[in-house]
Amino acid sequence: MYTLFVGLIAGFFAGLIMKGEGHGFFINIIVGVVGAFVGSWILGFINFSFGSGLIGNIITATIGSVVLLFVINLFRNGKRRRR
């Protein structure tokens, strides 16, 4: 339940940061949960941490979700330009 809560918040914030690129409630949760793994990997790679509390987890998941939405939008926009 904690992971879903963090994923929901992170997906919501990522949608706001990416200016409306959210894709609905359930997709935002999925993007937030997957973004948490992406954010943990990216921040672990550069040896940086926001801490292990709720706020730190939300910030990490939001960073990962923004990166994930950015990559998804690159592929979506690339398909549009080819047509």
* Residue predicted with more confidence, 78 or 16: 16
pLDDT at 80: 60
The number of distinct structural domains making up the chain is 1
Which range marks the domain in which residue 20 is found?
2-82
pLDDT digits (tens, 9 = 90+) for 13-22: 988 888 765 5
CA angle 37, 73, 53 (to 5 degrees): 25
pLDDT digits (tens, 9 = 90+) for 21-71: 556 777 877 888 898 899 989 999 999 988 889 999 999 999 999 999 888
